[in-house]
Structure 1
Amino acid sequence: MISYLKGKKVEIVKNTQNRLFLILEVNNIGYEMQIYSRFARQLDVEQDELLQVFTHLQIQEDKQILYGFPTLVERDLFRQLTAVSGIGMQLAIALIDTLGISELVGAIVTSNIPTLTKTPGVGKKTAERIALELKTKLAEWHKISNISGVEVQQPDAVFAPKPEIKEDLEMTLLALGYTNEEIEQVLTALSQDNQLLKNNNVEEWIRSAIAWLSGE
């Protein structure tokens, strides 16, 4: 098992599924690992600087995928999430990318379902399952980990479209090629529109989202 890799950043590339991959050169070997946009934004380093990336290796029948994380805490949280029934690697990545460590752990420990459902692909039932299965584990994990800078707290209340509208909107935007980060941004923006929040027409939400994303 590879715990971490330390090397030089070669480049960050995006594949046809809008997933980000970091190419890290370690002892003249280039390792390709999937990362997330929140992590990618932190990688504004010179190419001759050494970079330590904590990793998780997923082995499938036809391929192996290496996932990269900036800290041991995020790697361990990723593993906790993927242990939940029905939570795959990409959904776990999306949760960490959308909410960040502090808000995500806080939302799980306090069962803040609206906050968890801010993540594209996470509906109410999935959020409830995550909170149910990890609430006690993460509360204890946080205590024994003694993680500086990670505070478990109740996130601010949020307004959001109804779950069925949110799900249809996310699926449509993903199909149109928008990233999870863009979808999170537009949901946050549209959820401040009191008139739109009262509108149960998903087509109106989609039109508004595309208009916002297009800068119209």
Structure 2
Amino acid sequence: MISYLKGIVAGIQNHSGNRHILTLEVNGMGYDLQISGRMTQQLPSSGGEIQVFTHYQIRDEVPFLYGFSSPADRDLFRYLISVSGIGAALAIALLDTLELPELVQSIVTGNVQLLIQAPGVGKKTAERICLELKSKLIEWRKSAGFFVATDGPAPGILEEVQMTLLALGYTAHEVSHALHYVSEEIGLPKDAFVEEWIKQAIAHLSSSEVSQ
């Protein structure tokens, strides 16, 4: 079993359906690995050296090699594809939509609204992921070093705040970071009014857009 490959980036191909193929040259041999769109942004330029953690899978007698930037990313991918009805494409879509700590937090806390932002993930699928993985990830995150954040609105108003911001067109990643900023940097109380959380989050997101 291949645990990881260390080699030179020979090329990146972008295919339809948001499929990204990294060609990695290792000791004169080229390996094609399917990776997430997020990982393509972390790769060195062509000719640069990188270590990629791998998952080998055979589907319909065809071998596939998936690449990840860390063992934790690969572990979570494996947890996701263990859920009934979740294939590699949906697992990668989830990893692309939310950063690893955010994805783990969403599953552990049953935050369906964030999970369904991933392409192809519906409400029932998101609920199934939470049901089947919550207890497993609670244990796994301890050893992996990921802990559910306590910042952000209180659970009773969190979903309403998120749904409002998502409906305004912000991505799940932007919403998560905005709520973290409002909590940590501004110090807004967890039980503040929904309207105040939304107002402060939009103000931060708007200022971020202007500064870009």
Equivalents in 2 of 1:108, 1:39: separation in Å? 21
The Cα of 1:58 is off from its aligned counterpart by 1.0
Equivalents in 2 of 1:124, 1:153: separation in Å? 23
Q: 1:99 to 1:61 in 2, by over 3 A?
A: same
Instruction: Give the 3-state SS of the residue equivalent to 1:158 in structure 2.
Output: helix
The residue type paired with residue 7 of structure 2 is G
Alignment of 1:51-66 (within 5 A): 51-66=50-65
Alignment of 1:24-39 (within 5 A): 24-39=24-39
* Cα RMSD for the two superposed structures: 2.5
Q: Identical aligned pairs, as a percentage?
A: 50
1:188 paired residue number = 171
> Any conservation in 2 of the 1:114–1:160 contact (CA below 8 Å)?
no
2:83 paired residue number = 84
Equivalents in 2 of 1:17, 1:83: separation in Å? 22
The Cα of 1:105 is off from its aligned counterpart by 0.1
Q: 1:23 to 1:100 in 2, by over 3 A?
A: same
Q: How far does the alpha carbon of each residue in 1:145-193 deviate from its partner, in whole angstroms, 9 at most, with x for none? A: 3x2xx4422676412699xxx9xxxxxxxxxxxxxxxxxx96639xx9x
1:159 paired residue number = 163
Instruction: Give the 3-state SS of the residue equivalent to 2:6 in structure 1.
Output: strand
> Any conservation in 2 of the 1:116–1:122 contact (CA below 8 Å)?
yes
TM-score (norm 1): 0.69
2:122 paired residue number = 123
How many pairs were matched up? 165
Alignment of 1:40-51 (within 5 A): 40-45=40-45, 47=47, 49-51=48-50
1:170 paired residue number = none
Q: 1:111 to 1:18 in 2, by over 3 A?
A: closer
Equivalents in 2 of 1:12, 1:45: separation in Å? 10
The residue type paired with residue 72 of structure 1 is P
Equivalents in 1 of 2:52, 2:13: separation in Å? 16
TM-score (norm 2): 0.71
1:200 paired residue number = none
